[in-house]
């Protein structure tokens, strides 16, 4: 991999087509699953990466995401990420989000408190809304203070997917 170059790939899962982008440091983007390959390709067109990679550059991440979405494994924490261009608060909120246990949910307020900024619930919401590495940074585990599911999917309302992911995780936890 050449320094400063970004590469992308797409692959099909049980949940639909997913696209990944990476730098030499780690994953920079992970799309939400799309039922149609063309929608996945459309998302990639808006990314910074211009190098489609079909070889083994993404093999570890693809294997782990398949395991996750098939309910076999949830070891996504060891996938290297590159969030170097994100604001410091986002990095903190995302790291806290990654610490939320499988099948568990926490509120925006809880994440804000853990970040050292207990009144920053809205800022946590912005961090989650700007999460470009969905699934791997599991923002679907962050919910409203009243226990309700809230927005998911970069401006899209994909609450059905959020619920499906949480149910998948709870099923996995109940079996292990």
Catalytic residues: 139
The SS3 call for residue 47 is coil
Helices (H), 100-158: 108-114, 121-129
Q: Which two tokens stand for residue 147?
A: 């226990």
**Max CA-CA distance within the chain?**
47
Return the closest-CA partner of residue 141 out of 93, 89, 78, 83.
93
HSE (CB half, 13 Å, CA atoms) of 24?
A: 5
**Pairwise CA distance, residues 111 & 94, whole Å:** 9
Distance, CA of 128 to CA of 154 (rounded, Å): 9
Angle at 124 between CA 7 and CA 159, to 5 degrees: 75
């Amino acid at each position: 991999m050449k320094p400063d170059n970004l590469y992308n790939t797409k692959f099909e899962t049980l949940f639909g087509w997913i696209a990944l982008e990476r730098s030499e440091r780690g994953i920079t983007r992970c799309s939400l699953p799309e039922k149609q390959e063309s929608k996945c390709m459309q998302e990639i067109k808006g990314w910074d990466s211009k190098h489609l990679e079909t070889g083994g550059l993404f093999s570890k991440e693809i294997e782990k995401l398949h395991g996750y979405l098939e309910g076999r494994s949830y070891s996504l924490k060891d996938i290297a990420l590159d969030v170097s261009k994100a604001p410091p608060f986002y990095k903190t909120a995302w790291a806290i989000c990654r610490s939320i246990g499988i099948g568990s949910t926490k509120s925006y307020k809880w994440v804000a408190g853990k970040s050292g900024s207990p009144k920053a619930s809205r800022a946590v919401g912005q961090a989650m809304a700007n999460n470009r590495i969905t699934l791997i940074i599991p923002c679907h585990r962050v919910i409203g203070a009243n226990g309700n599911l809230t927005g998911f999917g970069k401006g899209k309302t994909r609450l059905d997917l959020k619920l499906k992911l949480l149910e998948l995780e709870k099923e996995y936890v109940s079996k292990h």
